[in-house]
């Protein structure tokens, strides 16, 4: 009896340790952004993107443009990413006020605001950086800087410079953050830190992704040497090296390398981990980039032009089939079949119950039964994702339809992508309710979550059904969107802007409704499938 108690206690300790380990992987590892230059994309569009991984609000609205009287002040808040409803103020505090401008643009109001009516688009990725640089008294958190830039700017460079001015005057109060900023011509990666607890301000650098290249930001500072003379590819604050030396982050000798001075605790002494390596190798296998390398380049030229479908596919990546990182590769079982001669043959295959989104308890159990069975590798598509965006900026189309956000709720490895246009004035039904405020049939997120989570229980048996539906809607949108764009352009020629808004609003609403119906039907199908048990 005593022996059994000892074994049980050991198992509980092991489970607890692994659960803690899982939570540690969540810290500073919560978003992915892929950027594609206009000459690297298949159609000439500029692309930025974002997986909002974590328990952030999932309600989304289209905020209108507005005119403001002289003397109007703009309120800056903290805590807006976790509210349950639009205009909800639970947990929100007023950080301060700044002068408002005469006119602000309409924008898509996600937890991290992402696109405006002028085809300015943003992604985000937290890299944390040294705690010694954080100053909580700074007015701005990253999401509020994004909001103001989208309200006031129509070009990526202007957005970067405005954010830099706001940081200098009012202070940056967040940890290390990267925002990826795109317009119809170019895309930039901007990395921001505080200036330390003694001063309201901040430090920042922005590097342009070459037009024929692709870059990634995955919770790690990625910018290296800063060339201030190259104004076409670098913009930055003038206090970077001074702050780094003041806090002992750089000794002043040799080249100053941004990512080495301000590393993420998640990455250690490198500027990449699994996601950066995987994405670059998927896009440019000819480079033979090694995971054992000390450093990966800031950006790479893809072997082939990258279309938006490729970015969607990368956002679904869980490393299944990628031997170094596949968490399911050791979860094997024997399956009997008959060969062409009618003889019984035993195949060893991945168990249908294995899935790439196992939680800490599952991993702990497998590793208790056989140490080393499952090693956690942080994938791109995560089950704790709130929403994700892939945004194309297209200069050959009017702004109303040139900016298109391929929006997905819940796990990007399982959910469909819904086209949202820059010229829309409202989101589809149910998108104005946060799915994290409790179970809510009226919140759009739950229409996807239920089928997605059920699918994970027997992923080997369900994934072809689920991914088949994802592929169906992906192809449906890519076939239909050009037709909608043609209709919108005809309406614009007649100066019928209201007609354009109605067309775009209705198309996204109908498309979202079709996906919700399919995911609801799939949920029922899975319950029938599992009637004898999981």
Each of the 534 residues of the chain gets a pLDDT tens digit; together they read 444 444 434 443 444 444 444 444 444 458 999 999 999 999 999 999 999 999 999 999 999 999 999 999 999 999 999 999 998 999 999 999 999 999 999 999 999 999 999 999 999 999 999 999 999 999 999 999 999 999 999 999 999 999 999 999 999 999 999 999 999 999 999 999 999 999 999 999 999 999 999 999 999 999 999 999 999 999 999 999 999 999 999 999 989 999 999 998 777 789 999 999 999 999 999 999 999 999 999 999 999 999 999 999 999 999 999 989 999 999 998 888 888 888 888 888 899 999 999 999 999 999 999 999 999 999 999 999 999 999 999 999 999 999 999 999 999 999 999 999 999 999 999 999 999 989 999 999 999 999 999 999 999 999 999 999 999 999 999 999 999 999 999 999 999 999 999 999 999 999 999 999 999 999 999 999 988 887
User: Can you say whether the dihedral through the CA atoms of 214, 220, 221, 225 is positive or negative?
Assistant: negative
Tokens of 362: 């599952």
First to last CA, the chain: 32
Burial of 529 (0-12, 13-18, 19+ CB in 10 A): middle
Alpha helices in 124-216 (DSSP H): 142-152, 156-170
Q: What contacts 517, CB < 8 A, 6 or more positions away?
A: none
User: Are β-strands 385-393 and 93-99 bridged in parallel, bridged antiparallel, or unpaired?
Assistant: unpaired
Q: Which residues pair with 140 in a beta bridge?
A: 172
User: Can you say whether the dihedral through the CA atoms of 362, 368, 373, 377 is positive or negative?
Assistant: positive
Question: Any idea which residue has 């170094």 for tokens?
Answer: 324
Do the Cβ atoms of 311 and 36 come closer than 8 Å? yes
Do the Cβ atoms of 185 and 38 come closer than 8 Å? yes
Do the Cβ atoms of 181 and 205 come closer than 8 Å? no
User: Are β-strands 66-67 and 61-63 bridged in parallel, bridged antiparallel, or unpaired?
Assistant: unpaired
User: Can you say whether the dihedral through the CA atoms of 38, 320, 406, 147 is positive or negative?
Assistant: negative
Q: Which residues pair with 46 in a beta bridge?
A: 393
Nearest alpha-carbon partner for 193 in 252, 280, 126: 126
Residues in the chain, how many? 534
- What value, to the nearest 5°, has the Cα angle with vertex 54 and ends 20 and 83? 125
| Tens-place pLDDT, residues 306-323 | 999 999 999 999 999 998
Whole-angstrom distance, CA of residue 22 vs CA of residue 360: 6
Q: What contacts 290, CB < 8 A, 6 or more positions away?
A: none
Do the Cβ atoms of 447 and 520 come closer than 8 Å? yes
Do the Cβ atoms of 47 and 390 come closer than 8 Å? yes
- What value, to the nearest 5°, has the Cα angle with vertex 161 and ends 155 and 167? 135
Query: Structure pTM?
Result: 0.94
| Tens-place pLDDT, residues 173-183 | 999 999 999 99
Whole-angstrom distance, CA of residue 264 vs CA of residue 266: 5
């Amino acid at each position: 009896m005593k022996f059994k108690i000892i074994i049980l206690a050991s198992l509980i300790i092991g489970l607890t340790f692994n659960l803690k380990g899982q939570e540690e992987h969540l810290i500073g590892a919560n978003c992915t952004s892929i950027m594609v230059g206009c000459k690297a994309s298949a159609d000439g569009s500029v692309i930025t993107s974002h997986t909002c991984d974590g328990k952030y609000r999932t309600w989304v609205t289209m905020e209108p443009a507005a005119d403001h009287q002289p003397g109007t002040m703009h309120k800056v808040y903290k805590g807006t990413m976790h509210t349950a409803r639009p205009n909800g103020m639970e947990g929100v505090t007023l950080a301060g006020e700044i002068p408002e401008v005469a006119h602000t643009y309409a924008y898509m109001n996600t937890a991290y605001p992402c696109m405006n009516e002028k085809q300015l688009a943003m992604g985000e990725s937290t890299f944390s950086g040294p705690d010694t640089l954080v100053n909580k008294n700074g007015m701005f958190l990253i999401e509020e800087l994004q909001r103001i830039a989208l309200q006031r700017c129509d070009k990526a460079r202007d957005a970067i410079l405005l954010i830099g001015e706001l940081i200098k005057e009012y202070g940056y109060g967040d940890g290390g953050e990267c925002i990826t900023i795109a317009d119809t011509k170019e895309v930039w990666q901007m990395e921001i830190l505080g200036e330390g607890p003694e001063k309201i301000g901040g430090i920042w650098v922005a590097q342009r992704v070459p037009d024929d290249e692709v870059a990634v930001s995955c919770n790690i500072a990625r910018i290296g040497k800063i060339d201030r003379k190259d104004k076409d590819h670098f913009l930055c604050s003038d206090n970077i090296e001074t702050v780094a030396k003041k806090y002992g982050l750089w000794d002043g000798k040799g080249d100053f390398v941004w990512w080495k001075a301000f590393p993420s605790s998640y990455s250690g002494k490198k500027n990449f981990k699994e996601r950066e390596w995987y994405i670059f190798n998927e896009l440019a296998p000819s480079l033979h980039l090694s995971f054992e390398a000390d450093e990966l380049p800031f950006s790479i030229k893809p072997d082939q032009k990258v279309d938006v479908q490729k970015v969607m596919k990368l956002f679904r990546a869980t490393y299944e089939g990628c031997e170094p990182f596949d968490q399911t590769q050791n979860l094997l079982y024997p399956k009997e079949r008959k060969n062409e001669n009618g003889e019984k043959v035993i195949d060893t295959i991945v168990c249908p119950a294995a899935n790439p989104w196992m939680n800490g308890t599952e991993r702990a159990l497998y590793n208790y039964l056989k140490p080393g069975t499952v090693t956690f590798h942080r994938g791109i598509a995560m089950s704790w994702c709130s929403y994700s965006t892939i945004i194309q900026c297209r200069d050959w189309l009017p702004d109303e339809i040139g900016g298109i956000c391929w929006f997905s709720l819940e796990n990007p490895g399982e959910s469909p992508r819904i086209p949202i246009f820059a010229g829309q004035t409202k989101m589809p039904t149910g998108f104005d309710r946060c799915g994290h405020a409790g179970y809510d049939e009226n919140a759009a997120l739950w229409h996807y979550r239920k089928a997605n989570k059920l699918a994970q229980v027997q992923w080997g048996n369900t994934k072809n059904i689920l991914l088949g539906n994802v592929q169906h809607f992906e192809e449906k949108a890519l076939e239909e969107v050009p037709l909608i764009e043609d209709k919108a352009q005809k309406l614009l020629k007649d100066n019928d802007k209201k007609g354009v808004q109605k067309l775009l609003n209705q198309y996204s609403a109908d498309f979202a409704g079709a996906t919700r119906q399919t995911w609801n039907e799939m949920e029922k199908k899975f319950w029938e499938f599992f009637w004898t048990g999981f």
